[in-house]
Structure 1
């Protein structure tokens, strides 16, 4: 049995608590947040605290907090030589105070509190300074059904950067698509099967081979029609930028 204390109250912390609390081989001893009202709805499920002096012993302490809070919070923990992990894709493992055994438990997924997550589809990227801590971290991930991958700092940082492109930026493109359809009262829902098929296709094909569309075909007539349809200059700029990127990738002449 692995005992855990969770620190933080955001999306990642909430989903980790839900996963840990239903795992057979994990017990959540406490959940800390400096804003205890943010986790007050879970007070009947776990001991919640907002005072670090009350923190209990555990095998693992997980800092599921904002990137800029990791260093300070780890230095405020009233103990040393225990395993402390952060969940960030971009923060250095050495940002955790050196009085602790330090590691990273980075779930490579997008988290929203209102969206259910199956951790069987959430790879956990593991990094640790102390090699003896690795089995504990790996077993923590396996206990919630997650696949694991041992990574170094450079690999984790580029994975996080790539994740911004394939998730955050892509979601912004969904938002722009939603704005475009709304402008003519067209149904955005009609695009959802296309969104799913696009994501499904890159499970079997490289993104290079999966690319389709007017930019790859160098269909200037269609691209010019699209640009005329766009009323928002910001949308035009994004259309042209992404079109140029596709044309460069596939050796086409620019629009």
Structure 2
């Protein structure tokens, strides 16, 4: 049985805990957070602590904390030469204090505490500075039912950047669409089949080939009408212009 300690209490930490509890080959040794109240509801399932000096020996320590906290927290861990990883998509493995065996255990997925998560749909990107640590990290990822990928820091960095575009920015576009429909009392839910079909298409074709719409067609009349509809919200109008220009450039269309 592989023992794991989680440090942090955010979205990633919470979902990792829930997944590890169900894993047959992994046991949660402890769960640390600076504010014990954030994890108090789990006290009957795992030993919870808010004092680093109480950390017990484990096979792996997962720092599921903000990027800015990785370096300081890892330096405060009261031991050395144990395997410590973080879950960040952009921070370097070298941000972890060099007194430890260092690595990255990056679950490439969007996490919200209230949403259920099937780790079969959560690719785990693994990086290990200490090469002998890689098999252990892979075994732990597989215990969650996750697909795994061995990547280097540059690959992880661009994957995280791409994830910001396809997830965070896309979700903001959903929010704008929701706001636009609400402005005239239309139901945003009517768009959900379109959202699902758009995501489904790129399972079988490239985003380039999947592109449709007035910008790709260079439908100038429609573009002008839609820009006029947005004239009371210059922020949305600017986003529309920027994305239209991007599509036109990608597909060789002349700008308006």
State how 1:1-255 maps to structure 2 within 5 Å.
1-230=1-230, 231-255=232-256
Q: Which string of whole-angstrom CA distances, capped at 9 and with x for unpartnered residues, describes residues 163-194 of structure 1?
A: 00000000000000000000000000000000
Unaligned runs of 5+ in 2: none
C-alpha distance in 1, partners of 2:62/2:139?
14
Structure 2 counterpart SS, 1:212: coil
Q: Which string of whole-angstrom CA distances, capped at 9 and with x for unpartnered residues, describes residues 109-150 of structure 1?
A: 000000011000100000011110000000000000000000
Residue 235 of structure 1: how far off its partner (Å): 0.4
Residue 249 of structure 1: how far off its partner (Å): 0.1
Residue 18 of structure 1: how far off its partner (Å): 0.2
C-alpha distance in 2, partners of 1:188/1:36?
39
C-alpha distance in 1, partners of 2:35/2:110?
23
Residue 13 of structure 1: how far off its partner (Å): 0.1
C-alpha distance in 2, partners of 1:83/1:44?
26
Query: When the two structures are superposed, what TM-score results if normalisation uses the length of structure 2?
Result: 0.99
Unaligned runs of 5+ in 1: none
Residue 15 of structure 1: how far off its partner (Å): 0.1
Alignment length (residue pairs): 255
C-alpha distance in 2, partners of 1:163/1:211?
19
